[in-house]
Structure 1
Amino acid sequence: MRIKKLYLPIILATALAVGVLIGGYLNFSGPGRNFTANANRSKLNKLMELIESEYVDDVNTDSIVDLTVNGILEKLDPHSVYIAKNEMEQVTQSMKGDFVGIGVNFYMYNDSVAIIKPIENGPSEAAGLKAGDRILYAGTSKLFGRKLPSDSLFSKLKGEEGSKVNLTIYRKSEQKKFKVTITRGVVPIKSVDIAIMLNNKTGYIKINRFAETTYKEFHNGLLELKKLGATELIVDLRDNGGGYMEMAADIADEFLKDNELIVKTKNKKGNIDKTLATEEGNFENGKLYILINENSASASEILAGAIQDNDRGTIVGRRSFGKGLVQKEMPLGDGSAVRLTVARYYTPSGRSIQKPYNHGTDEYFSDFEKRFVSGELFAADSIKVADSLKFKTKKGRIVYGGGGIIPDIFVPIEGSHGDEALGMLMQSGLMSYFVFEQLDKDRKAFQGLTFPQMVAKLNATDAYFNNFKSYIAKSGLIFNLEAQKPVVKRYIAAEFARQLFDENKYFQIVLKEDAMVKAVLGRK
């Protein structure tokens, strides 16, 4: 890591991790309190033993322990959570940035495993699998007609790197069945969706989370955009719930000058850890815009706060989520883990942007509804700020703490009142499945079309829009899609572009009418 660290040597970080794990035996004010804590632990252990040995019915005590752990953590804060051992693999995989498998996007369609699209440069693409193919068997395991859950399907298709799996495939477009052997390989899970040029000088990078590979992905994308002539940059952090703080700090370092403060954290003992930029930034000059919304949280807010407080760039969008707590993931010895809040972080101006959580987890995570009702998602003057939480940026501009990053340029949510969930629907798996099923009916209708021809074909008809209305109605969802017809048609066309072409084409369509992107480009 290239970031400068102050005031917190490695030995202290190690001591903190160990201290949390064995905290029941250390850091108490006197022997009486230690005795009580140990007695309470013994009580819990004794209760578990009695249930196992004496209770009249068979009981899964592991599930009881899980409930107990969750109950304890719920009393702390909304972000201290327990990760059960059956969830650890998925969590670890997501944050690692890759997994070992055959490399396909799929879902259960009419009781069969349908390939939406092979992942580019993955094992399945190399083996010749195509969108629309059905996987009938993995080895001798039958996969169709069984309504298998996703985790069961994953277990059939994943395995050790270099291992082989024999698949029986049905290709609907050619009405033929065949067998293929695929060698499992490392398949990346991208945390940077795209890095493209919007015009001859403006680059755009979309980050969906901060995983182990995020800085590397971002760095490569940034360098490529600079080669293409980018002198201005838009970094899109919308709907990015965070991840590793270090990745956000590394990215901030690309924009900030040597010794500028990125973030500081403070733990229970009052120890302060400051993270400073180095002299190695690749985009320390040139206009910079950060896009955020109400779902931008944690590491996203660290990056946005560092840029705003150092007056390095312009924050565009809506007030961010408001998560100012730092978690550390620690194993519990049985394959499970606890993600425990160990510090608070502060932006360079000294702001804590953590919103209150003293009224319970449910109210904490329903904040979106409050913002909708108050009108904050539609008008900047509805944002409630506390005058007592005023802070100053490097150049003396007033910014506010408590409850998220307030943007410099406000852009209301797309759609009208009552359609606040439309954007989430448009970007959900439901849209992906709909488009797949439309293509599956007649894939040849799009065969050989260029990208402009495909767009023209879709724009010339309302057939797919009407089909989508029927599709979501059958799913039990109620939306006034007629009121947002251009938006819906845009996302339908974009998803067709993704499945028939690639991610670049998807974003070319979506970003062309994106309100926040237009707000930035309109300032030039």
Structure 2
Amino acid sequence: MSKKIKIYIPLIIGAAIGIGVFIGGRLNFTDTSDRLFTTNSKKDKLNRLIDYIDYEYVEEVNTDSIVDVTVNGILDNLDPHSIYIPKKDLERVTNNMRGDFVGIGINYYPYKDTLAVIRPTEGGPSKRAGLKGGDRILMADGDTIYGEKFNTDIIAKKLKGKKGTKVRLKVYRPSTKEFLDIDVKRGNIPIKSVEAAYMLNNFLGYIKMNRFAESSYKEFKSALDKLQDQGATKLVFDLRDNPGGFLGIAEEIADEFLEDDKLILFTKNKKGKRQNAYATSRGDFEEGEVFVLINESSASASEVVAGALQDNDKGVIVGRRSYGKGLVQREMALGDGSAVRLTVARYYTPTGRSIQKPYENGKNKSYFRDYYKRMSNGELLNSENIEIEDSLKFTTPKGKVVYGGGGIIPDVFVPIDKSVENETINYLKRAGHFGYFVFEELDKNRAIYDGVSKRDFIDNFSVSDDIVLAFQKYVNRVEGTNINFVAFNTTIKVFIKATLARQLYDDNAYEEIINRNDIMIDEVLTLSEEESFLEVTN
């Protein structure tokens, strides 16, 4: 071998290594071969800017927060429903949509400086271990969690843990003035989608669902089967205030009502590719009559179900125009524990309607303040004030006219009940005043309800004017106001009684009491007895 060749060999090897490092630094194993030797100036610009700030900026800056702001800024210019989920929130969001989490299973109230048990979850670990409503949890595995050390985030971490592991609780029980050591074995705690399921009368069942999570179809099917066993031939499916969730779960639930091969919906992606979803042979309520309740906060998957049934001339949609979300998101991991839910398609009802309400690029404020627009123009009180575009008119197989362009317009309109849906009552519910007040009232003497059955309580218990006055004093003390509840006396009695039922028994009792004063339920009870009406609408 010549001396020249020997000299060049190290140079060639060095050059090859350098090229390899360069390619390796740009290699993305999800890229196709034609992209390996290209650059992306848009990505490079963002990366360089963050690096400059990280290494050159005069002060220390948390570049993670800058990245979060950047991602949100990009998504803000897309559509209202493409969102960023930071790492710190992803577990909570995932658990909520999965339908369960690992823990001890209690509903609790941070009472003063102590964790107070409102009610242990029915069938959960705490219930089995012997915890009761009113118990104060003072210590967890020897660590004090009350007083100055009271912090709900820290407490949640101590009570949660791996499935099957135990946590020893030091508990004070005010009713017997005992200090107890209770071992609780952590387990799966369901986050219920079906809030209530019971019979309204001998033939009409009722199911209320609050979201479409992974477990929602199983919950719904179990509830439906039980109601059918009790004689339900007609069903009220309450989707009011349901913000939606997984599209596939909505399809499964719609399938329960629709005959084989009926189109449930179709989607179109960026390239216009259409994907159809059809009903299968497994539906168990295809012969039954169904009333779907919707309002201005029924969105997404709720609208998929309502639209599928309406366009297939199945059942009756009752209530007010729904939210108007016709976009489909997919969750995508960003590699650092955070994720983005990006809009990847639009969905259409069987007749071809898009029910997505108009939006300009980005998350403009008017889009999310649509409720106030509907209130101000009178739409929530009178169906004649609903804005309809004739160009978005569609016809169902049986000739019923339906409209696209911003939500599902119900077959039967029911105005908002201003005695229940008003700013004062809504604020009292949002602030948790009913729950906290009722807990403190129960805490004075829980024994008076011993032996009172749930049915007896629902049918016969009455809230006195003295209790309403005590609630008024409580709210004024907490809020530092001087509100008089005379105008809301009847409504407040209903919510106090319902909240008592929830804390003493379960969510089902709460909904049953609320529904006895619900004008939309009253409308359905009337419609369900009018066979001729159903024949006309279908």
Structure 2 length normalisation: TM-score? 0.88
- Check whether the contact 2:458–2:509 (CA below 8 A) recurs between aligned residues: no
2:531 equivalent to 1:509:
no
Q: CA deviation at 1:31?
A: 12
The amino acid that maps onto 2:402 is V
Greater displacement, 150-159 / 450-459: 450-459
Q: 1:151/1:25 Cα in 2 relative to 1: closer, same or farther (>3 Å)? A: same
Alignment of 1:200-349 (within 5 A): 200-349=202-351
Task: Describe the shift of the 1:397–1:454 C-alpha distance in structure 2 as closer, same or farther (beyond 3 A).
Answer: closer
Q: 1:317–1:407: 8 Å Cα contact kept in structure 2? A: yes
1:281 and 1:341, CA in 2 relative to 1: closer, same or farther beyond 3 A? same
Tell me how far 1:454 sits from its aligned partner: 4.2
Aligned AA for 1:218?
Answer: F
Query: CA distance change for structure 1 residues 84 and 226 in 2, over 3 Å: closer, same or farther?
Result: same
Q: Which moved more, 1:285-294 or 1:458-467?
A: 458-467
Which residue of structure 1 lines up, in the alignment, with residue 80 of structure 2?
78
Structure 2 residue matching 1:82: 3-state secondary structure: strand
Q: Single out whichever of 75-84 and 138-147 deviates more from structure 2.
A: 138-147
Opposite residue 503 of structure 2, the aligned amino acid is Q
The structural deviation recorded for 1:363 is 1.5
- Corresponding residue for residue 384 of structure 1: 387
Give the alignment partner of residue 65 of structure 1, picking from 64, 67, 75.
Answer: 67
Q: Is the 8 A contact 1:446 1:454 kept in 2?
A: no
| Matching of residues 104-503 of structure 1 within 5 Å | 104-146=106-148, 148-358=150-360, 360-416=363-419, 419-420=422-423, 422-423=425-426, 425-426=428-429, 429-451=432-454, 454=457, 459=462, 461-476=464-479, 481-503=485-507
C-alpha deviations, 1:52-108, integer Å up to 9, x for none? 222232221111111110110000011100000110110110011111100001121
Change over 3 Å in CA distance of 1:296–1:146 after alignment to 2: farther
Say whether the 8 Å CA contact 2:124–2:187 is kept in structure 1. yes
Report the residue type matching 1:404 in the other structure. Answer: G
> Equivalent pairs: percent with the same residue?
52
1:426 deviates by 4.0
Distance 1:368 1:293 in 2: 11
Task: Please list every run of 5 or more consecutive structure 1 residues that lacks an aligned counterpart in the other structure.
Answer: 1-21
Q: How far apart are residue 498 of structure 1 and its match?
A: 1.4
Q: Distance in 2 between matches of 1:168 and 1:151?
A: 19
- The 2-side partners of 1:482 and 1:285 are apart by 47
Q: 1:242 to 1:149 in 2, by over 3 A?
A: farther
Indicate if the aligned counterparts of 1:127 and 1:180 stay in contact, CA closer than 8 A: yes
Which amino acid in the other structure matches residue 450 of structure 2?
A: Q
Q: Which moved more, 1:450-459 or 1:373-382?
A: 450-459
Deviation per residue, 1:27-60 (Å, 9 max, x gap): x9x999x75xx22221221222222222232221
Aligned-partner residue type, residue 116 of structure 2: A
Corresponding residue for 2:8? none
Partners of 2:107 and 2:442 in 1: CA distance: 15
Give per-residue Cα distances to partners, 1:268-316, cap 9 Å, x unaligned: 0111010000122100112210000111000000000001111101000
Amino acid of the residue matched to residue 168 of structure 2?
Answer: N
> What CA deviation, in whole Å up to 9, does each residue of 1:307-362 have, x standing for no partner?
11111010001111100000000101111000000000000111111011217432
Q: Taking structure 1 as reference, are residues 89 and 460 closer, same or farther at Cα in structure 2, changes over 3 Å only?
A: closer
Provide the C-alpha distance between the structure 2 equivalents of 1:322 and 1:479, rounded to a whole number of angstroms: 36
The question of whether the paired residues in 1 share the 8 Å contact of 2:463 and 2:497 is answered with: no
Say whether the 8 Å CA contact 2:195–2:508 is kept in structure 1.
Answer: no
- The answer to whether the 8 A contact 2:145-2:151 is kept is no
Q: Which sections of structure 2, spanning at least 5 residues, go unmatched?
A: 1-27, 530-538
SS at match of 2:408: coil
Structure 2 residue 524 is matched with structure 1 residue 520: yes
SS at match of 2:148: coil
Q: Find the aligned partners of 2:49 and 2:42 in 1 and give their Cα distance.
A: 11
- Structural RMSD (CA): 2.5
Mapped partners of 1:305, 1:193: distance in 2: 22
Whether contact under 8 Å (1:108, 1:147) holds in the other structure is no
Q: Give the structure-1-normalised TM-score.
A: 0.90
Tell me the secondary structure at the aligned position of residue 459 of structure 1.
coil
* 1:251 shift after superposition: 0.6
Measured in 2, the distance between the counterparts of 1:440 and 1:212 equals: 36
**DSSP 3-state at the match of 2:367:** helix
- Are the counterparts in 1 of residues 463 and 493 from structure 2 also a CA contact under 8 Å? no
